[in-house]
Amino acid sequence: MKGLILAAGLGTRLQPITSLRPKPTIRVAGKPLIHYAVDDLIDAGIREIGIVVSHDTIDHLKQTLEGYRGAAYTYVLQDPPQGLAHAVAVARPFLADDPFVMYLGDNLFERGIQPFVDAFRPDDGVNAVLALVRVEDPRAFGVAVIEDGRITRLVEKPADPPSDLAVAGVYVFDAGIHDAIEGLEPGAKGEYQITDAIARLIADGKRVTPVEVEGWWKDTGRAEDILDANRLLLLERRRSLEGEIEESEIVGDVVVEPGAVVRRSTVFGPALIAAGALVIDAYVGPFTTLGSGARVQRAEIEYAVVGEGTTVRDVGARIQGSLIGEDVVVAGVSARPSAHRLIVGDKSRIELQQ
């Protein structure tokens, strides 16, 4: 079985964070998003992995994945991106006639993908497996209808959803999906929908098996989703203080990696201070990740993701609920407003004034 990670999109909902780099390379709880997808595939026994890329994303993704866990990566160009079914079509030379897992590169699954792979049993007549999750408002998703243990209908973003079962970001297919994709008509946005291809499988009598997601699932399409994913992942970390800590209070499950320095500061966990980061005369609150080489000095920050090489200094009010890119400078002056909330792209400079 092969893996196919879709990572050609530009992540427009996350701009300006994604103005200079693709969304799957954003670090969450210390790791690029796409590493979590690769981990899940390898842990499920899949080591041949295709990465669907565009001209805008290929270089960043190659750099992010180079040598990671020893997997065999094949890069498949999809330019421009025209939907999930189109991604499978352009990946056909890599996939050949092998069964494969298609994984959306900006999705996170608490308990991995093994249950979906295990449910794919061709000898029992299973042609495809879809990960499903129950959501309060299914109107923004593909929605599945289940009868007698199989999916009998899929509706893409319905105004009147027939169920609360939304299609999550993992699919398992046999080679029959290629015939189902051939000749598809594009949708209203000019994209070729994988739900249309799956509907063809169902109409042809193929067995499409549902598997509900166990644990949490996150589609990290917005800044709020990145912050919540960071929160969920930090909850899984345990206290580890390997860096240099001087005259500081460390409370709860805080990870201070080797080479990080915390001096005359307070850190409340769960939090991650990555290698090379500096926290000096500062407060770092729960659910915060500071990237490698980041610096927080004479400032307070909580519920935030701070990118590599970023500096936050001399900020009078607490920064919270913020997603800050790499190599950013946030420098305050004497003003002391009640709070700041920032969504800042890479290589920016922010001066906070009264």
The pTM for the full model equals: 0.91
As a whole number of angstroms, the longest Cα–Cα distance in the chain is 70
* Residues in Cβ contact with 116 at an 8 Å cutoff, skipping those fewer than 6 apart: 101, 129, 131, 170, 172, 211
71-119: pLDDT as tens digits: 999 999 998 889 999 999 999 999 999 999 999 999 999 999 999 999 9
Kindly state whether residues 88 and 209 are assigned to the same domain. Answer: yes
Give the mean model confidence (pLDDT) for residues 20-44: 93
Kindly state whether residues 80 and 197 are assigned to the same domain. Answer: yes
pLDDT at 334 over 60: no
Q: What pLDDT sits at residue 321?
A: 95
Q: Domain end: 229, 261, 285, which one?
A: 229
Q: HEC string of 103-155?
A: EECCEEECCCCHHHHHHCCHHHCEEEEEEEEECCCHHHCEEEEEECCEEEEEE
Domain count, the chain: 2
Give the mean model confidence (pLDDT) for residues 183-199: 90
Which range of residues forms the domain containing residue 114? 2-229
Task: Give the pLDDT band (50/70/90) at residue 340.
Answer: confident
Determine the Cα–Cα distance for residues 17 and 344; give it in Å rounded to an integer.
6
Q: How far is CA 24 from CA 236, 280, 305, 327, in A?
A: 21, 31, 15, 18
Give the mean model confidence (pLDDT) for residues 297-314: 96
CATH code for the domain in which residue 9 is found: 3.90.550.10
Kindly state whether residues 77 and 214 are assigned to the same domain. Answer: yes
Q: Domain end: 201, 229, 257, which one?
A: 229
Task: Give the pLDDT band (50/70/90) at residue 338.
Answer: low
Q: What pLDDT sits at residue 320?
A: 95
Kindly state whether residues 222 and 261 are assigned to the same domain. Answer: no
Average pLDDT, the chain: 93
Task: Give the torsion sign (CA, 102, 105, 109, 113).
Answer: positive
Kindly state whether residues 255 and 326 are assigned to the same domain. Answer: yes
pLDDT at 210 over 60: yes
Kindly state whether residues 326 and 344 are assigned to the same domain. Answer: yes
Kindly state whether residues 45 and 101 are assigned to the same domain. Answer: yes
Kindly state whether residues 165 and 309 are assigned to the same domain. Answer: no
Determine the Cα–Cα distance for residues 237 and 148; give it in Å rounded to an integer.
40
Give the mean model confidence (pLDDT) for residues 120-146: 94
Q: What pLDDT sits at residue 15?
A: 75
pLDDT at 21 over 90: no
